[in-house]
Chain A
Amino acid sequence: MSRLTLALSLLVLALAVLSLVLGPADIPAAEGLRALLAGGEGPVPLVMREVRLPRMILAIVIGGSLGLAGAAMQGYLRNPLAEPGLVGISGTAALGAVLTLHTGLAALWPLALPAGALAGAGLAVALVMTLAGPRGGSLTLILAGIAISAMAGALTSLVLNLSPNPYAANEIVFWMMGSLADRSMLHVWLALPLSLLGWAMILPLGRGLDALTLGEDAAGSMGVSLTRLRWLLVLGTACVVGAGTAVAGAIGFVGLVVPHLLRPLVGARPSALLGASALGGAAMLLAADIAVRLVLPERDLKLGVVTALVGAPLFLHLIYRLRKEGL
């Protein structure tokens, strides 16, 4: 387990450095890193500190959040299909963010943006948990997810289409697919506190989730309060997904792919999976963000395109396997 943590941490570190030295401006790697650390005058420190650094930090924070939220939801619902993007939590968070932006609330009070996304995400998590319930089958979960996603997507498009700004309608793609292009440190400060709060709520849930694998009655007899567990999970997921979506749009499939890949390596223990999935999610989003910059640097390819191309086949594979198991 600790070997896996070490390996994943090294992977995240390597990808983070790679993410800092790659970009459309031709800056030699050594010069760029020196400017990043030492600062100074001129355009190079500006590029490193204001363009590439926030992008790298956000990829780690948001990727980690999505991986963690995916692992926690799958542990609680005991269903490998649970994932913030698929069940509509990211989409509803995007709707909340779009509403605060286009009502002008976000301009009056900067924290309104993550707060709106948080409210949207919280509403969706609560709805999914209620509809699917701790024993809910895959079918209920997916149907609830489809309904919530469709509703959130339609309302997001509606708000953006009604905006007087001619560019607003083009943003539908951003909110539905997600991107880290041209984010600044301001966005890091908007997303980071809420994400940390969410992590603090979710990470200690490992023991309770482990107990839950034995069934609800067994978990209850081991002193795990299911009500408390559910509340922390709902709030924590809302925090991390809301914070991430507010600044980067809805990025799907990270929370699905990462726990699925790591589960065999940690021996199917939810507690071990939580931390590993956070690291894995950070690595996956860093890699996806590097990929969008390498493949089509001029086109602002959306992150969700890459994650969905990786994630959707896996999703189909999961459904196929669940069907064989007769669920």
Chain B
Amino acid sequence: MNVCTDQLAMMLADPGQLLSVSAFATDPRMSSMPEEAAAYRVNHGRAEEIYTMRPDLVIAGAFSNRQSVDMLRRLGVEVVVVEPAYGLDDVPDRIREVGRALGQGDRAGRMARAFEERLARLRSGRDDGLRAALYYANGYTSGGKTLAGQILQAAGFRNVAEEVGLSNGGTMPLEVLAMTAPDAIITGRPHAGAARAEAILDHPVVRALRAESADMVVPDTDWVCGTPHALDAVAALREARLALAAR
């Protein structure tokens, strides 16, 4: 019922064990595994459609619709609610949690260990003092207490959101972004269709900063969820940082 737990479940389940994933998991703009997800039946998080599939177990995220979760529990379906990963160190726990729920403890343990090893490898390296800003629609940024902020840190960047006291993330006004003058600006890929919220990424200030600094557009899909794919984002950013430092 949740785009992140869907992806973990697809990686951990035996063939035929997983019945259905949420519609978000098939959306290439939100999910890192849209092709895999296309093989499953799609649900929209509504209790009625999930119940009629007669599952033994439903895995939901902490932000899934509460009414639907309560309804499924009243109908006698077992629901496991998995907290989102708030940082990279939470990810192995989430992998094991979903693995336990699916009865795939061994596979999950192996995946969690592989994650930890790869993360440790990626984290090693010297600090070259490069500063980056994460900048999303509506002028939103993420700090070090968020998954995206930790991905940035693991890749070796210093996050300018920390400098202005936004360690949980929040709205960073354009003026403040301009004053921090980061070495790199990392934005998401714009969605289809116009939105005023995303117009901010075309503002002359952002364009001017991009001209002076490195401009990176990273697919949002690897950033949102605490899955092994988050390390792909770390690796991509690390490459970018090394290229920037070599300039």
Q: Indicate whether A51 sits within 8 Å of B193 (C-beta atoms), given known contacts A23-B175, A167-B198.
A: no
Contact of B181 among A43, A101, A107, A164 (CB under 8 A): A43
Minimal Cβ-Cβ distance residue in A for B199: A182
| B192: Cβ under 8 A from any A Cβ | yes
23 A–B contacts, CB within 8 A, in A order:
A23-B173, A23-B175, A24-B173, A24-B176, A43-B178, A46-B178, A47-B178, A50-B178, A51-B178, A52-B175, A163-B193, A163-B195, A165-B191, A167-B191, A167-B198, A168-B194, A168-B197, A170-B197, A182-B139, A182-B199, A184-B203, A185-B204, A298-B171
Instruction: Name the residue in B180, B200, B204 with the highest tally of chain A Cβ atoms < 10 Å from its Cβ.
Output: B204
A297 to B174, CA, bound (A): 12
Contacts of A76 in B (CB 8 A): none
Minimal Cβ-Cβ distance residue in A for B170: A298
Minimal Cβ-Cβ distance residue in A for B198: A167
B179 A106 Cβ-Cβ under 8 A: no
A104 to B192, CA, bound (A): 11
Contacts of A104 in B (CB 8 A): 194
| B42: Cβ under 8 A from any A Cβ | no
Minimal Cβ-Cβ distance residue in B for A52: B175
**Further contacts, 12 of them, CB under 8 A, given A104-B194, A163-B194, A168-B197:** A23-B173, A26-B179, A43-B180, A51-B175, A52-B175, A102-B194, A167-B196, A168-B193, A182-B199, A182-B200, A184-B203, A186-B204
| B205: Cβ under 8 A from any A Cβ | yes
| B218: Cβ under 8 A from any A Cβ | no
Contacts of A26 in B (CB 8 A): 179
A18-59 CB mask vs B (1 if < 8 Å, else 0) is 000001111100000000000000111011001110000000
| A253: Cβ under 8 A from any B Cβ | no
B173 A25 Cβ-Cβ under 8 A: yes
Query: Chain A interface (Cβ within 8 Å of chain B)?
Result: 23-27, 42-44, 46-47, 50-52, 101-102, 104, 106-107, 163-168, 170-171, 174, 182, 184-186, 297-300
B136-169 CB mask vs A (1 if < 8 Å, else 0) is 0111000000000000000000000000000000
A50 B173 Cβ-Cβ under 8 A: no
Minimal Cβ-Cβ distance residue in B for A160: B195
B178 A166 Cβ-Cβ under 8 A: no
A297 to B178, CA, bound (A): 17
A25 B204 Cβ-Cβ under 8 A: no
| B245: Cβ under 8 A from any A Cβ | no
B204 A50 Cβ-Cβ under 8 A: yes
Q: Indicate whether A164 sits within 8 Å of B175 (C-beta atoms), given known contacts A46-B205, A46-B208, A51-B205.
A: no
